[in-house]
Amino acid sequence: MRHHTIQAIFDGVYTALVTNMLLVAGGLPLVLLALTTDSTRAWPLYALTAPLCAPGLCGIFAVMSAYTAGHTDGPLRTFGRAWRSTARPAMLWGAAATVVLVVLGVDAYALWGHRIGALTLPILAMLTVLTVATTLLGLVVIAEQPAARLHRVARACLYLAVRRWYLTVASLLVLALLAQLVTLRPALALGLAAAPLLYVVWANSRHCLRAALDPPTRTT
């Protein structure tokens, strides 16, 4: 029992460290932009680059799913296989989400300080939150079902994000915490904290999507 416990701890630590490395590798375009540009001025470059990082997130979610299920293929092989199978749908999904977020952001900037903004800005903020939540759930779905039709993914994820709002809020709070850590302590966040926090987000999202991803069980 002691041997199995120690082995499980080492496997978990190894998977977490490799996952952090793979996260940096999958999001390398954004990491390079963050190191070389000012995000407030170079946001169009961030918008153009963000969809390229979507397959990397799908690969991370696939690694977490495989680790939870007890598969022994290893995180590197699982990540590579998931990246190849989800590259096209994940990039399309990420591009669509980026376009929506850019439009909402530009509208909010244009309306800021105007009288009509007092009415429309809360609506735009709510739409932004729903877009982020739907995008996150969609990446979890694509990681498990790369051949799923994206319009069906969007419809199901939007519905479940609203219906199970408490899980959505929890996932977004964890993501906000991770974003704050990346901003303040990037080495600590990407080297240690990213994998555990993203695992919480993935587990939350997977539970939210249980009705859509898990086949119904038949009782006899």
pLDDT classification of 219: cutoffs 50, 70, 90? very low
pLDDT cut 90: percent of the chain above it: 62
How is residue 184 written in tokens?
């303040």
Count Cβ atoms within 10 A of the Cβ of residue 69 and give its class: 0-12 exposed, 13-18 middle, 19 or more buried: exposed
pLDDT classification of 62: cutoffs 50, 70, 90? very high
Measured torsion, CA atoms of residues 130, 115, 41, 22, in degrees rounded to the nearest 10: -10
**197 near 177, Cβ under 8 Å?**
yes
pLDDT, tens digit (0-9, with 9 covering 90-100), for 88-132: 999 999 999 999 999 999 999 888 878 887 788 999 999 999 999
Query: Looking at the predicted structure, is the pLDDT value of residue 54 above 70?
Result: yes
Could you give the angle at which helices 75-111 and 117-144 cross, rounded to 10 degrees? 170
**206 near 142, Cβ under 8 Å?**
no
pLDDT, average across residues 201-205 = 94
**186 near 193, Cβ under 8 Å?**
no
109 sits in which H/E element = helix 75-111
Q: Cβ atoms within 10 A of the Cβ of 32, count?
A: 11
pLDDT, tens digit (0-9, with 9 covering 90-100), for 79-88: 999 999 999 9
Highest mean pLDDT among 30-44, 70-84, 154-168, 178-192: 154-168
pLDDT, tens digit (0-9, with 9 covering 90-100), for 150-182: 999 999 999 999 999 999 999 999 999 999 998
Average pLDDT, the chain: 89
Q: Could you give the CA distance from residue 182 to residue 31 in angstroms, rounded to a whole number?
A: 11
pLDDT at 5: 76
Query: Looking at the predicted structure, is the pLDDT value of residue 38 above 90?
Result: no
Measured torsion, CA atoms of residues 183, 188, 189, 193, in degrees rounded to the nearest 10: -150
